[in-house]
């Protein structure tokens, strides 16, 4: 699993680098009037931290705002329009790492590390020579200011870092990505006119226990298609293609299967046409809510109160214990199945009922 391997790498090599990085804090402090925000991992996490980045952008317009990310989430920052420059690190390429390090050592006045647990991001923050380095308290050795993660939605935890710099209320919605006319044209060519409902049956490659049963998705999709005279679009990345094909093959009504076939911007443009999106706890779930789509998230090992779809007309369904099994802000990503956290406790009928709360009010899109 890519996610599991990267966490293992960070916990070994990254931790060692972290232990040595205190030396960077002895370098002369930078006088550059630039801010650096660091966010490496996960589509959903990146979308959840954009409101914090937007608050910083709004409150500190006199500073250049840079973002250090990876090539996996660079498109999110580019489409947000919030950063003056996006630095995309290729963590599998030593030359890219060296080039990034040389860029960082040129200096920043402020560095915010939005990674909740990685040691390598904290080390990069020290490399910036920033007089102010802000991050979460579990790696506070290299920060000048830190915040302890709270049992609240990830959006609010990220906002707490931004509040070291600016006064900002909690946002009512995520930051909507800016899609081009070309992306909208591609979406129009791919999708039929009329009511459109999207589903995502995949999940992070490192967390298969988040997945609702594919048969359930097929039954739900067939019901929604018939009930609302809607086309069904199945979305996801290349790693979701098998799950998407399984759902497609089990459906009575043929869906539009886009899994692994379109880029992030085109997916966002497709979502603009949707009247409802139903998904596992995953990146596309957060993207749908960011694009203003009424979204239903299906949760098993994690809780919607902490990572659910964020915004108006978003619903998180959960039938597990009070405390979550997966705890990203504590670097806890167990993969062992536990029946009490089984997402399949959620029935098809319960999702249909949640969908009726949204679609029953006439919330359809042209």
| CATH number for the domain that contains residue 245 | 3.40.50.2000
**Exposure class string for 346-357: b at 16+ Cβ within 10 A, else e:** bebeebeebbee
- For the chain, state the CA radius of gyration: 21
In a domain, 107, yes or no: yes
In a domain, 281, yes or no: yes
Q: Which residue has the higher pLDDT, 234 or 361?
A: 234
The pLDDT of residue 22 is: 67
Signed CA dihedral, 160, 161, 165, 168: sign only: negative
Query: pLDDT tens-digit profile of 134-154?
Result: 999 988 889 999 999 999 999
| Global pTM value | 0.93
Query: pLDDT tens-digit profile of 52-96?
Result: 999 999 999 999 999 999 999 999 999 999 999 999 999 778 898
Domain count within the chain: 2
Only one residue has tokens 């630039």, namely: 34
Residues 293 and 217 occupy one common structural domain? yes
The pLDDT of residue 6 is: 63
In a domain, 167, yes or no: no
If we measure between CA atoms, which residue out of 133, 325, 351 comes closest to residue 223?
A: 351
pLDDT grade for 363, boundaries at 50, 70 and 90: very low
User: Domain range holding 314?
Assistant: 192-359
Residues 213 and 124 occupy one common structural domain? no
Q: What number of CA atoms fall less than 13 Å from residue 152's CA on the CB side?
A: 11
pLDDT grade for 125, boundaries at 50, 70 and 90: very high
Domain boundary among 109, 142, 162: 162
Could you give the CA distance from residue 230 to residue 358 in angstroms, rounded to a whole number?
14
In a domain, 49, yes or no: yes
Residues 327 and 275 occupy one common structural domain? yes
Residues 260 and 338 occupy one common structural domain? yes
Q: Look at phi and psi of residue 166 and say left if phi exceeds 0, alpha if psi is from -120 to 50, else beta.
A: beta
Average model confidence (pLDDT) across the chain? 92
Residues 147 and 211 occupy one common structural domain? no
CB contact at 8 A, 134 and 122: no
Residues 157 and 205 occupy one common structural domain? no
pLDDT grade for 3, boundaries at 50, 70 and 90: low
For 308, the token pair is: 């659910």
Count of Cβ atoms closer than 10 Å to residue 310 Cβ: 27
Residues 98 and 240 occupy one common structural domain? no
For 81, the token pair is: 């329009």
Cα–Cα distances in angstroms (integers) from residue 28 to residues 25, 66, 78, 128, 185, in the given order:
8, 21, 31, 10, 51
In a domain, 185, yes or no: no
Could you give the CA distance from residue 135 to residue 22 in angstroms, rounded to a whole number?
15
Residues 231 and 130 occupy one common structural domain? no
Could you give the CA distance from residue 202 to residue 283 in angstroms, rounded to a whole number?
10
In a domain, 37, yes or no: yes
Query: pLDDT tens-digit profile of 240-271?
Result: 999 999 999 999 999 999 999 999 999 999 99
Domain boundary among 162, 178, 200: 162
Could you give the CA distance from residue 285 to residue 274 in angstroms, rounded to a whole number?
13
In a domain, 175, yes or no: no
């Amino acid at each position: 699993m890519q996610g599991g391997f990267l966490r293992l790498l960070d916990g070994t090599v990254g931790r060692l680098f972290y232990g040595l990085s205190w030396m960077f804090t002895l370098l002369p402090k930078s006088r550059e009037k630039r801010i650096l925000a660091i966010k490496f991992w996960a589509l959903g996490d990146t979308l959840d931290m954009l409101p914090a980045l937007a608050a910083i952008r709004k409150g500190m317009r006199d500073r250049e705002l840079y973002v250090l990310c990876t090539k996996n989430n660079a498109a999110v920052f580019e489409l947000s329009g919030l950063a003056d420059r996006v630095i995309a690190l290729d963590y599998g390429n030593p030359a890219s790492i060296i080039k990034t390090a040389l860029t960082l050592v040129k200096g920043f006045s402020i560095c915010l590390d939005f990674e909740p647990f990685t040691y390598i991001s904290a080390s990069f923050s020290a490399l910036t020579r920033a007089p102010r380095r802000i991050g979460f308290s579990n790696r506070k050795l290299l920060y000048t200011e830190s915040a302890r993660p709270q049992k609240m939605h990830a959006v609010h935890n990220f906002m707490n870092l931004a509040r070291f710099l600016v006064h900002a209320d909690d946002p009512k919605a995520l930051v909507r990505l800016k899609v081009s006319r070309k992306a909208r044209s591609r979406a129009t060519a791919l999708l039929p006119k009329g009511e459109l409902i999207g589903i995502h049956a995949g999940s992070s490659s490192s967390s298969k226990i988040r997945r609702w049963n594919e048969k359930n998705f097929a039954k739900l999709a067939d019901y929604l298609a018939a009930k609302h005279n809607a086309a069904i679009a199945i979305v996801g990345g290349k790693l979701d293609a098998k799950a998407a094909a399984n759902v497609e093959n089990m459906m009575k009504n043929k869906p539009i299967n886009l899994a692994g076939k379109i880029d992030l911007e085109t997916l966002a443009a497709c979502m603009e046409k949707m009247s409802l999106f139903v998904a596992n706890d995953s990146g596309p779930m957060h993207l749908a809510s960011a694009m203003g789509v009424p979204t239903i998230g299906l949760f098993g090992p994690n809780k919607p109160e902490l990572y659910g779809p964020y915004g108006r007309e978003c619903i998180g369904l959960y039938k597990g214990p009070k405390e979550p099994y997966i705890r990203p802000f504590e670097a806890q990503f167990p993969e062992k199945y536990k029946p009490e956290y089984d997402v399949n406790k959620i029935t098809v009928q319960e999702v249909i009922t949640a969908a009726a709360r949204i679609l029953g009010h006439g919330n359809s899109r042209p």
